[in-house]
Chains A and B, each alone.
Chain A
Amino acid sequence: MMEEYAVVGKAFRSVGGSDKVTGRAQYLDDIELPGMLHAKILRSPHAHARILKIDTSKAAALPGVKAVLSAVDCPKLPFGLDVPDARIFAETKVRYAGDEVAAVAAETPKIAREALKLIDVRYELLPALFSPQEALQEGAPLVHEDKPGNLVKSYVIERGDVDADFAACDYVFEEEFASSRVTACYLEPFGAIARWEPDNRLTIWTGIQGAFQARSEIARALGMNPSQITVKVPAIGGAFGGKIWIRNFHPIVALLAKEARRPVKFVLTRPEEFAASRPRVPAKIKIKLGMLKDGTLVCKDTAIVADNGAYSWAAPKIVLNMSLRTDCLYRFKSVRTRSYLAYTNTTPTSGFRGYGNAQSHFAQESMIDVCARKAGLDPVEVRLKNAVRQGDLTLHGWKVRSCGLTECIEKARAAIARGRKPQADPNGTVKRGIGLACMNHVSGNRAGNNFDGSSSMVRFQEDGKLVLYHGESDMGQGARTVLAQIAAETLGIRPEDVLVMPIDTDVSPFCFGSYSSRVTTVAGKAAYLASLQVREQLLKLAATLLEAAPEDLDVREGRIFVRGGERKGISVADVCKSAIRTRATVGLTAYVAYDPPTEGANEDFYGDYSSAYTYAAQAVEVEVNTETGQIRVLRVAAAHDVGRAINPNGIRGQIYGGVAQGAGWALYENMVYEGGRLQNNSLRNYTMVTATDMPEVEPIIVETQDPVGPYGAKGIGEPALIPMPPAVANAVEDAVGVRIRDLPITAEKIYFSLNPECEGPAS
């Protein structure tokens, strides 16, 4: 039996929710500053071209224009992540259709837009590369002249003796899978406001996932010190990994504001969001898998070729995840992965819910079904037989401290089997099938020996209200709610009495930000530890007031009392008043910087890098029209090992939302390019699921009580998206016997697979 808590595991209204339902929540575009100008960015219409000339004089002369910038006006400091190759504006050439060429700040958005039309840019077109396969060919044109072979990064990771193990296998199968380019497509367009302060400091308002990372990157691009910059985070209208890192517009808006000596706002238009945001890294993944007759998975050899786009952001890290993580889902004896990440003349790719893990799961979890079917085995039984378990040390050195994978598989299988519809309709045109896919993920991810934790500061006010400072953005996933619940549980007060402060890098404790599904686990732990310290201070002072020993005291619902003598007590508010408004000089404040007990991976990528790994199995039922190939996802049973549910309503929300995004990707989300130009740059034709498309979803929460996470909790941000595409692919094969290996699984692809005599589209 798990311990019952007063606040943890109970449904609470989300922190900030009432501001959102009343329209008072302030998102970036809702902020108006006195004298604020509006910025627009001129982007390259070409995928690859030399810039012969940029003449901004006419734009600068337009009444109402207050600043015009292009590369000549800006610092030329490289910025970016592992491979810093970005500049504020394109300098000698443009590398994708959407590349920043110039920018304008004007009195109104309309004037700024007019001014863009007056900027004269001459280009000389260059041959462009649209796929990593082309880019890696000998003699291909170079995207960056100083990056030979267009190679951004490659990895070779090997554990055990793969070749010897293949030789000993009963079956060896090989297949290739491909994932498409999809975008986070949060509802609130990304943007920033910049204002220079009197002491030559810079304030940036931006709805970003990691405020401190943003601060250091903006500083790097501008050649400033991070402490000269303040990043403030307003309400964020969704992010899903698409707002982790800064964009070029962050330094651009700062420089425009400097030039104009006025605050400047920039918000992406929706077509710009599509053309110039950071889609998920598309990859071709070839898997060779060796197994025994009894279904034991023995070894795996994987080759990955991935598309970085024109500039490098998180793609190297994402390809690393893609190259490792699925190896730890089952008990493989040996694995080898060779991965190549190449520059192309397309929009730079980066993170979106799953951070590489979603792509490799599509490949591996499709592959398991293909292999099991070929071997005449039940794919679900194969998964159960090989599933990683609590206490395992995986072949990449992960320590599996808690693991509910087996339970997830069993529960998802049972749930989808209940209430199944007939496998075919009487007229024979509609067929139905079920499929299951698993996933593992992390709750935080340590890079090397660096800090992978979070910091928290909690402080009681004189009225007994608690103020909690942190630095992990709430993009809607409910970070603030979970932090408030953890603090309230630990301190014995009501969550409503916790004020979770907005993020301001001058005030907030140092944090990395909301990614890697890490906030509940690491920021929650920091809040827990800080709350414990304050609890100690609180009880110590209460003990003197109550004339009792601190260890005999307990606190519940805002009241401190002597255990066993419940009637003798004092309210938390009264103790706070005594601490602050008397000469007791008790701070009732704690600042904790927490770093999880993991060592991180070594240079060979071996090592335990997350304090809590998460597991899930999702089963789906689909319906396929054999005449048209049209497919509907009817039901989803989504079983997730969350360690311990802190906020069950929030977990359900993450599962439903992940299923929706995963179903959209599985069925139709796809950024389609012709000649390097995006053909669907609108919500009209980039199709994500609507209320009328959503399948019936049964969320199943599996609790394994993680030994490290706060109250046993693990992350749930990314997982629910990850198994959807392979589960749908597996269900389609179950229904109609065709295997779709490239996402999305469109009706058209199914139709042509069912009718191989018909000639499909030339692709």
Chain B
Amino acid sequence: MNIQDYLVPHHVDECLAMLNAWGGRGRLVAGGTDLVASLEYGKAQAEALIDISAMEDLMGFEIQDHELVVRAGSTHRQVSAAPRIRQLWPALSKACGSVGSPQIRNVATLAGNVVNAQPAADAAVALVALGARAEILSSGGRRLEAVENLYGGLGQSRIDSSREILVALRVPVPDAGEVNVYGRVSPRNSLCLPIVNAALSLKTAGGTVLSGRIAMGPVSDRPFRPERAEAALQGVALKDRAALSEVGRIAGEEANPRDSCLRGCSDYRRQLLTVLIRTLLEDAAAQTAEEA
């Protein structure tokens, strides 16, 4: 990598000014764990790194009105370890705890996980299922976009981190009867990208699913939402194991995982998704039963 300068802005205006000054040749760096490897192997180019981790206004997370606001500086560890998040958004907490290793989770940020746009990214899969939105700032102004709309192809984010800042991720607070779950399948227990992963967010009442969102990875160029399986969720009784299996089957059918010499053939990965989705629905059923 041929980095000519390393800049540390202290607030977002200064950061935007730096991005503008470098005219697309500067890149934001948060934790840096993905970016450094990409720069090292020539997969990414930049002439200046603009480090956002010292910006007070991008630090921490909080619950505001009806949203959890995870600012860009928040690390996977901070999010996965927060008791309040574990309680209300167990899917997000668990997904964040599955990324990389403890050392990586200590520096890697959720915002970075989203901007890096990998379809297997655990936190991003959870955020999509939870209906999270991203707050993006550029010299043109501030905009809100659903996380699932930020993907522009494999590994391609529609956020241009040489010109824009993802300042926060906003996750709606679950209503009563709403539950969320996350799970993954990987050959070993740690330090491993998933063969498949999935997150679910369900609105339920009286043991019946009113509606639900499912996100799965890595089965597409982005966290994938199986529309038919989501439709099939409506009205399903959480005690009805056969019905849960059927949703899993449909989700598996809708997904189109590639044959991979490392992750397994498509049919097998579809089977894993079928089982994973059903298992997660069972977990969700157990959660609602606990709350009731």
Do A and B come into direct contact in the complex, CB within 8 Å?
A: yes
Binding site for B on A (CB under 8 A): 627-628, 630, 667-668, 672, 674, 679-680, 683-685, 687, 689-693, 746-748, 751-752, 758-761
B188 touches A689 (CB 8 A): yes
Give A748 to B187 CA distance when docked, in angstroms: 10
Residues of chain B lying within 8 A (CB to CB) of residue A628: 185, 271-272, 275
CB-CB contacts of B172-201 with A at 8 A, as 1s and 0s?
A: 000000000000010111111100000000
Q: Is A679 a contact of B188 with CB atoms below 8 Å? A: no
Residues of B within 8 A of A748 (CB): 264-265, 268
Q: Which residues of B contact A (CB under 8 A)?
A: 185, 187-193, 259, 261-262, 264-265, 267-268, 271-272, 275
Cross-interface CB contact of B187 among A667, A672, A679, A752, cutoff 8 Å: A667
Q: Is the CB of B193 within 8 A of A685?
A: yes
Shortest distance in angstroms between A448's beta carbon and chain B's nearest beta carbon?
A: 42
Question: What's the Cα separation between A761 and B193 when bound, in Å?
Answer: 21
Looking at B187, B193, B265, B271, the one whose CB has the most chain A CB atoms below 10 A away is B187
Contact across chains for A668 and B188 when beta carbons are under 8 A apart: yes
Task: List chain B residues, Cβ under 8 A from A630.
Answer: 185
B188: which A residues are within 8 A, CB to CB?
A: 668, 687, 689-690, 692-693
Q: Say whether B192 contacts A687, CB under 8 Å.
A: yes
Which chain B residues lie closer than 8 Å to A759 at the CB level?
267
Asked if B268 and A687 sit within 8 Å, CB to CB, the answer is: no
User: Which of B191, B261, B265, B268 is within 8 Å of A674, CB to CB?
Assistant: B261
B265 near A760 (CB under 8 angstroms)? yes
In the complex with contacts A628-B185, A680-B262, A685-B262, A751-B190 CB distance below 8 A: no
Instruction: Pick from B262, B264, B267, B275: contact of A627, CB below 8 A.
Output: B275
Q: What are 29 A-B pairs at a CB distance below 8 A?
A: A628-B185, A628-B271, A628-B272, A628-B275, A630-B185, A668-B187, A668-B188, A672-B262, A674-B261, A679-B261, A680-B262, A683-B191, A685-B193, A687-B187, A687-B188, A687-B192, A689-B188, A690-B191, A693-B189, A693-B190, A746-B187, A746-B264, A747-B264, A748-B265, A751-B268, A761-B259, A761-B264, A761-B265, A761-B267
Residues from chain A with a CB closer than 8 A to the CB of B259 are: 761
6 smallest CB-CB distances across A and B, nearest first, come from: A761-B265, A692-B189, A690-B190, A692-B190, A748-B264, A668-B187
Q: How far is the CB of A155 from chain B (nearest CB, A)?
A: 33
Q: How far is the CA of A627 from the CA of B259 in the complex (A)?
A: 19
CA distance A628 to B268 in the complex (A): 8
User: What are the residues of chain A within 8 A of B265 when measuring CB–CB?
Assistant: 748, 760-761
- Distance of B218 from chain A, by nearest CB (Å): 13
Question: Is B271 in contact with A751, judged by CB distance below 8 angstroms?
Answer: yes
Contact residues in A for B187 (Cβ distance below 8 Å): 667-668, 687, 746-747
Provide the bound-state CA to CA distance between A512 and B44, in Å.
47
Decide if A691 touches B271 in the complex (CB within 8 Å). no
Number of A-B residue pairs having CB atoms within 8 Å of each other in the complex? 57
Distance between B66 CB and nearest chain A CB, rounded to angstroms: 37
**Docked complex Cα distance between A693 and B190 (Å):** 8
With CB as the reference atom, state the residue of chain A lying closest to B100: A684
Q: Which of B189, B193, B268, B275 contacts A690 (CB 8 A)?
A: B189
Cα(A627)–Cα(B264), bound, Å? 15
Contacts of B264 in A (CB 8 A): 746-748, 761
Residues of A within 8 A of B185 (CB): 628, 630
How far, in whole Å, are A323 and B187 apart by their CA atoms in the complex? 33
Select from chain B the residue with minimum beta-carbon distance to A668: B187
User: Nearest chain B CB to A219's CB is how many angstroms away?
Assistant: 37
Residues of chain A contacted by B268 (CB below 8 angstroms)? 748, 751-752, 760-761
- Is B192 in contact with A672, judged by CB distance below 8 angstroms? no
Minimum C-beta distance from B292 to chain A (A): 22
| Bound form: Cα–Cα A680–B264 in Å | 13
List B contacts of A627 (CB < 8 A). 271, 275
- Give chain B residues whose Cβ lies under 8 Å from the Cβ of A751: 268, 271
A229: min CB distance to chain B, Å: 35
Q: Which residues of B are found within 8 Å of A691, using beta-carbon distances?
A: 190
A152–B189 Cα distance when bound, in Å, is 41
Q: A693-B188, A761-B268 are in contact. Are A672 and B261 (CB under 8 A)?
A: yes
List the A residue with the shortest CB-CB distance to B1: A110
Find the B residue at minimum CB distance from A760. B265
Chain B residue nearest in CB terms to A759: B267
Which residues of the other chain, A, contact B190 by a CB distance below 8 angstroms?
690-693
Shortest B88–chain A CB gap in Å is 27
Q: A691 to nearest B CB, angstroms?
A: 7
- Highest count of chain A CB atoms <10 Å: which of B192, B259, B262, B272: B262
Question: In the assembled complex, how far is the CB of residue B187 from the closest CB belonging to chain A, in whole angstroms?
Answer: 5
The distance from the CB of A464 to the nearest CB of chain B, in whole angstroms, is 46
What's the minimum C-beta distance from B258 to chain A, rounded to whole angstroms?
12
Excluding A684-B193, A690-B191, A760-B265, 16 further A-B contacts by CB distance (< 8 Å) are A628-B185, A628-B275, A667-B187, A672-B262, A674-B261, A683-B191, A684-B191, A687-B192, A690-B189, A692-B189, A693-B189, A747-B264, A748-B268, A761-B259, A761-B267, A761-B268
Q: Which residue of A lies closest to B241 (CB)?
A: A427
A751 to B264, CA, bound (A): 11
CB distance from A744 to the nearest CB of B (A): 9
A689 to B191 CA separation, bound complex (whole angstroms): 10
B224 vs chain A, min Cβ distance (A): 19
Which chain B residues lie closer than 8 Å to A680 at the CB level?
262
Complex-state Cα separation, A751 to B268, whole angstroms: 8
Chain B neighbourhood of A752, CB < 8 A? 268
What is the CB-to-nearest-CB distance from B71 to chain A, in angstroms, rounded to a whole number? 29
- Interfacial chain B residues near A690, Cβ < 8 Å: 188-191
Cα separation A667 to B187 with both chains bound (whole Å) = 8
Residue of B nearest to A690 (CB): B190
- Chain B minimum-CB-distance residue to A694: B189
Complex interface: chain A residues within 8 A of B271 (CB): 627-628, 751, 758
In angstroms, Cα B272 to Cα A679, docked, is 22
Closest A residue, CB atoms, query B265: A761
Which chain B residue has the least Cβ–Cβ distance from A691?
B190
Query: Which B residues lie within 8 Å of A746 (CB)?
Result: 187, 264
Measured CA separation A52–B191 after assembly (Å):
43
Give CA–CA (A759, B193) in the complex, Å.
25
In the assembled complex, the CB of A349 is this many whole angstroms from the nearest CB of chain B, namely 20
Please measure, in the bound complex, the distance between the C-alpha atom of A692 and the C-alpha atom of B192, giving whole angstroms. Answer: 12
Q: How far is the CA of A600 from the CA of B267 in the complex (A)?
A: 53
CB distance from A630 to the nearest CB of B (A): 7
Task: Give chain B residues whose Cβ lies under 8 Å from the Cβ of A689.
Answer: 188
For A271, give the chain B residue with the smallest CB separation: B41
Q: How far is the CA of A449 from the CA of B47 in the complex (A)?
A: 64
CA distance A667 to B188 in the complex (A): 9
A761 to B257, CA, bound (A): 13
Closest residue of chain A to B189, judged by CB?
Answer: A692
Chain B contacts of A747 at CB under 8 A? 187, 264
How many Å lie between the Cα of A436 and that of B57 in the bound state?
60
CB distance from A611 to the nearest CB of B (A): 39
Q: A662 to B261, alpha carbons, bound, how many Å?
A: 22
User: How many Å from the CB of B145 to the closest CB on chain A?
Assistant: 30
Chain B contacts for A679, CB-based, 8 A: 261-262
Give the chain B neighbours of A692 by CB distance below 8 A: 188-190
| Residues on A with beta carbons closer than 8 Å to the beta carbon of B191 | 683-684, 690
* Chain B, residue nearest A664 (CB): B188
B261 cross-chain contacts in A, Cβ below 8 A: 672, 674, 679
Which residue of B262, B267, B272, B275 is within 8 Å of A758 (Cβ)? B267
CB distance from A42 to the nearest CB of B (A): 16
What CA separation (Å) do A82 and B271 show in the bound complex?
Answer: 49
Question: Would you give the shortest CB distance from B280 to chain A, in whole angstroms?
Answer: 14
A672 to B272, CA, bound (A): 21
- Nearest A residue to B272 via CB reads A628
Which residue on chain B has the smallest CB distance to residue A627? B275
Q: Which residues in B have their C-beta under 8 angstroms from that of A683?
A: 191
Contact residues in B for A693 (Cβ distance below 8 Å): 188-190
- Min CB–CB distance B242 → chain A (angstroms): 14
Which residues from B are CB-within-8-Å of A674? Answer: 261
